[in-house]
């Protein structure tokens, strides 16, 4: 029998990575006293080709994340037949709102009222209703008005942003999202996010989504109530895209 080609090798590697990731999530959920089904994997495929998205879809992954519109829009179009849920997880400028709402099921990075209004208007024009998450800045100096390199509203401002999202007819408030600060304790950071998530749910009970945790810190996120983890490296490796 002939040896499998590069495409088969790539598919096998992704399948092995996904199996290992699911074991990690199951163990994290068990440690937190939660069922593994509570946590959804969002496969972050930035810099990787549509062929990897097709492999993931064949393995049962239904949620795919991207952080740059110029890469996400054509990739979503190329995979439109797969019925995936596309998540926009990167910082977003208002001038990209019209493009993003055409394919995104969920925008994770809403951190200001102006962006919520732009997304709401564009979604309404496109005849769509887009779920949005309030991105929370967990950097220690956020309260001083210092915007982190990855964006996010200060925790004290999260409810105001949630109000802005909820006011838009074209949007649905889904919950909160955050990235743990580099070099800090992710468990402490995600505990702060958990408190913000609870305050948002107190006002908007339907906003139950907590998007937190990536390849290196997903256990801490799951322990603090994450419902969705955004994983790239643990699924697709960190050696750059391999087309196959």
Residues 6 or more apart whose Cβ sits within 8 Å of residue 80: none
Question: Domain coordinates of the chain in residue numbers?
Answer: 6-32+39-236
Give residue-wise pLDDT tens across range 185-211: 999 999 999 999 999 999 999 999 999
d(CA 98, CA 50) in angstroms, rounded, equals: 22
Q: Are strands 171-178 and 40-44 parallel, antiparallel or unpaired?
A: unpaired
Does the domain spanning 6-32+39-236 belong to CATH 3.30.230.10? no
How would residue 238 be classed by pLDDT, with cut points 50, 70 and 90? confident
Q: Which long-range contacts (CB under 8 A, 24 or more apart) does 73-82 make?
A: 73/99, 73/100, 73/102, 73/103, 75/45, 75/50, 76/103, 77/103, 78/50, 79/50, 79/53, 79/54, 82/53, 82/54, 82/57
pTM > 0.85: yes or no: yes
| Nearest CA-CA partner of 153 in 193, 99, 188 | 193
Mean pLDDT score of the chain: 93
Residue 40's beta-bridge partner residues? 228
Give residue-wise pLDDT tens across range 20-72: 999 999 999 999 999 999 999 999 999 999 999 999 999 999 999 999 999 99
Read off φ and ψ for residue 154, nearest 5 degrees: -60, 145
pLDDT at 140: 79
Measured CA distances, 209 to 147, 153, 196, 203 (Å): 23, 17, 12, 14
What the block records as the tokens of 23 is 């074991």
d(CA 197, CA 143) in angstroms, rounded, equals: 17
The residue to which tokens 């743990």 are assigned: 180
Alpha carbon 161 to its chain centroid, in Å, reads: 18
Q: Are strands 85-88 and 209-211 parallel, antiparallel or unpaired?
A: unpaired
CA angle 206, 31, 56 (to 5 degrees): 65
99 burial via Cβ count (<10 Å: 0-12, 13-18, 19+)? middle
pLDDT at 148: 54
E strand segments, the chain: 40-44, 63-66, 85-88, 106-110, 130-136, 171-178, 209-211, 228-231
């Amino acid at each position: 029998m002939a040896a499998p080609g590069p495409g088969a090798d790539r598919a096998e590697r992704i399948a092995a990575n996904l199996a290992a990731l699911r074991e990690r999530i199951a163990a994290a959920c068990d440690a937190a006293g939660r069922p593994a089904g509570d946590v959804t994997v969002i496969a972050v495929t930035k810099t990787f080709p549509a062929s990897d998205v097709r492999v993931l879809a064949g393995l049962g992954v239904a949620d795919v994340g991207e952080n740059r519109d110029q890469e996400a829009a054509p990739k979503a179009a190329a995979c439109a037949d797969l019925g995936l849920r596309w998540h926009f997880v990167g910082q977003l400028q208002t001038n990209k709102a019209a493009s993003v709402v055409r394919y995104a099921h969920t925008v994770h990075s809403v951190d200001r009222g102006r962006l919520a209004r732009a997304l709401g208007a564009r979604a309404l024009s496109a005849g769509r209703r887009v779920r949005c998450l309030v991105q929370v800045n967990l950097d220690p100096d956020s309260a001083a008005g210092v915007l982190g390199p990855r964006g996010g509203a200060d925790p004290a401002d999260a409810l105001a942003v949630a109000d802005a999202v909820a006011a838009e007819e074209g949007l649905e408030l889904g919950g909160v999202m955050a990235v743990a600060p580099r070099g800090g304790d992710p468990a402490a950071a995600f505990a702060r996010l958990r408190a913000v998530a609870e305050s948002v749910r107190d006002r908007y009970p339907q906003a139950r989504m907590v998007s937190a945790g990536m390849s290196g810190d997903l256990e801490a996120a799951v322990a603090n109530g994450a419902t969705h983890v955004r994983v790239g490296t643990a699924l697709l490796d960190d050696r750059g895209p391999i087309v196959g």
